[in-house]
Chain A
Amino acid sequence: MNSPNTTDFVQKGNELRSEEMVVNMGPQHPSTHGVLYLELRLDGEIVVDCRVHIGYLHRSCEKIAENRTYTQFIPFTDRLDYLASMNNNLGYCLAVEKLLNIQVNERTQYIRTIIAELNRVASHLVGIGTFAQDLGAYATPMFYCFRDREQIVQLFDELCGGRLTYNYMRIGGVQTDFPPHAVKVIKDFIKYERKKLKEYMELLTYNAIFLSRTKKIGILKPEVAIDYGMTGPMLRAAGVKWDLRKDEPYMIYDRFKFDVPVGTNGDSWDRFKVRLDEIGESLKIIEQAVEALPPGNPVAKVNKVFKGPPGEAYMRTENPRGELGFYLVSDGGQKPYRNKIRSPSFSNIAVLPELIRGLNVSDAVCVLGSTDIVMGEIDR
Chain B
Amino acid sequence: MELTIAVLSVVGFISVSAMFLVWGERKVSALFQNRLGPNVVGWHGSLQSVADMVKLLLKENIMPAQADKLVWWLAPFFVVVPAVAVFVTIPFGKNLIVHDLNVGILFITSISSVTVLGIFMAGWGSNNKYSLLGGMRSAAQIISYEVPLLLSIVLVIMETGTLSMQEIIKAQAHGWFILKPHLALAFIIYLISATAEVNRVPFDIPEAESELGAGYHTEYTGMKFGMFFVAEYTNLFIISAIAATLFLGGWQGPWLPSWFWFLLKAYGLVFLSMWVRWTLPRVRMDQMMGFAWKVLTPIALANLLISGWFMVK
* A interface, CB within 8 angstroms of B: 21, 23, 29-31, 45, 132-140, 143-144, 147, 203-204, 207, 209-210, 212-213, 360-363, 365, 369
- Determine the chain A residues whose CB is within 8 A of the CB of B127 once the complex forms: none
Whether the pair B129, A23 counts as a contact (CB closer than 8 A) is: yes
- Determine the chain A residues whose CB is within 8 A of the CB of B60 once the complex forms: none
Chain B residue at minimal CB-CB distance from A362:
B284
Between A and B, 11 residue pairs with Cβ closer than 8 Å are A136-B201, A136-B211, A137-B279, A137-B281, A138-B277, A139-B278, A212-B284, A213-B282, A360-B284, A361-B211, A369-B210
Q: Is B34 an interface residue (CB 8 A)?
A: yes
Chain B residue at minimal CB-CB distance from A136:
B282
Chain B residue at minimal CB-CB distance from A142:
B33
Q: How far is the CA of A284 from the CA of B211 in the complex (A)?
A: 36
Q: Is B285 an interface residue (CB 8 A)?
A: yes
Q: How far is the CA of A31 from the CA of B213 in the complex (A)?
A: 9
Least CB distance from A36 to B in Å reads: 13
Least CB distance from A31 to B in Å reads: 4
Whether the pair B283, A138 counts as a contact (CB closer than 8 A) is: no
* B interface, CB within 8 angstroms of A: 29, 32-35, 129-130, 133, 201-202, 204-205, 208-213, 277-287
Whether the pair A362, B208 counts as a contact (CB closer than 8 A) is: yes
Contact status of A132 and B130, CB under 8 A, knowing A30-B209, A138-B29 = no
Least CB distance from A235 to B in Å reads: 25
Q: How far is the CA of A213 from the CA of B291 in the complex (A)?
A: 14
Whether the pair B33, A132 counts as a contact (CB closer than 8 A) is: no
Say whether chain A's binding surface is mostly helix, strand, loop, or mixed: helix
Whether the pair B129, A21 counts as a contact (CB closer than 8 A) is: yes
Interface centre among B278, B279, B284, B287 (most CB of A within 10 A): B284
Least CB distance from B296 to A in Å reads: 15
Whether the pair A207, B281 counts as a contact (CB closer than 8 A) is: yes
Interface centre among A143, A207, A210, A369 (most CB of B within 10 A): A143
Whether the pair B34, A210 counts as a contact (CB closer than 8 A) is: no
Least CB distance from A373 to B in Å reads: 15
Whether the pair A212, B287 counts as a contact (CB closer than 8 A) is: yes
Q: How far is the CA of A360 from the CA of B205 in the complex (A)?
A: 13
Interface centre among A29, A45, A138, A143 (most CB of B within 10 A): A138
- Determine the chain A residues whose CB is within 8 A of the CB of B205 once the complex forms: 362
Q: How far is the CA of A213 from the CA of B210 in the complex (A)?
A: 14
Interface centre among B34, B129, B210, B280 (most CB of A within 10 A): B210
Chain A residue at minimal CB-CB distance from B291:
A212
Whether the pair B282, A30 counts as a contact (CB closer than 8 A) is: no
Contact status of A361 and B34, CB under 8 A, knowing A136-B282, A140-B279, A213-B281 = no
Contact status of A140 and B33, CB under 8 A, knowing A23-B129, A203-B279 = yes
Whether the pair A135, B281 counts as a contact (CB closer than 8 A) is: yes
Q: How far is the CA of A369 from the CA of B283 in the complex (A)?
A: 15
- Determine the chain A residues whose CB is within 8 A of the CB of B130 once the complex forms: 23
Q: How far is the CA of A143 from the CA of B209 in the complex (A)?
A: 17
Q: How far is the CA of A361 from the CA of B201 in the complex (A)?
A: 18
Least CB distance from B258 to A in Å reads: 35
- Determine the chain B residues whose CB is within 8 A of the CB of A135 once the complex forms: 210, 281-282
- Determine the chain A residues whose CB is within 8 A of the CB of B213 once the complex forms: 29-30
- Determine the chain A residues whose CB is within 8 A of the CB of B278 once the complex forms: 138-140
Contact status of A31 and B29, CB under 8 A, knowing A138-B278, A209-B202, A212-B284 = no
Chain B residue at minimal CB-CB distance from A359:
B284
Q: How far is the CA of A30 from the CA of B212 in the complex (A)?
A: 8
Q: What 16 new A-B contacts, CB under 8 Å, besides A209-B282, A213-B283?
A: A45-B285, A132-B281, A133-B210, A134-B210, A136-B210, A136-B211, A136-B282, A139-B278, A143-B35, A144-B33, A144-B34, A209-B283, A210-B281, A361-B211, A362-B285, A365-B211
- Determine the chain B residues whose CB is within 8 A of the CB of A144 once the complex forms: 33-34
Contact partner of A209 (CB less than 8 A), chosen from B204, B280, B285, is B280
- Determine the chain B residues whose CB is within 8 A of the CB of A204 once the complex forms: 281
- Determine the chain B residues whose CB is within 8 A of the CB of A30 once the complex forms: 209-210, 213
Interface centre among B29, B205, B281 (most CB of A within 10 A): B281
Q: How far is the CA of A136 from the CA of B286 in the complex (A)?
A: 15
Whether the pair A212, B283 counts as a contact (CB closer than 8 A) is: yes
Q: How far is the CA of A134 from the CA of B284 in the complex (A)?
A: 12
Chain A residue at minimal CB-CB distance from B34:
A147
- Determine the chain A residues whose CB is within 8 A of the CB of B280 once the complex forms: 137, 207, 209
- Determine the chain B residues whose CB is within 8 A of the CB of A134 once the complex forms: 210
- Determine the chain B residues whose CB is within 8 A of the CB of A137 once the complex forms: 201, 279-282
Contact status of A362 and B211, CB under 8 A, knowing A140-B32, A212-B287 = yes
- Determine the chain B residues whose CB is within 8 A of the CB of A361 once the complex forms: 133, 211-212
Give the 5 A-B CB pairs with smallest separation, nearest first.
A136-B282, A143-B33, A137-B281, A31-B210, A135-B281
- Determine the chain A residues whose CB is within 8 A of the CB of B133 once the complex forms: 45, 361
- Determine the chain A residues whose CB is within 8 A of the CB of B32 once the complex forms: 140
- Determine the chain B residues whose CB is within 8 A of the CB of A29 once the complex forms: 213
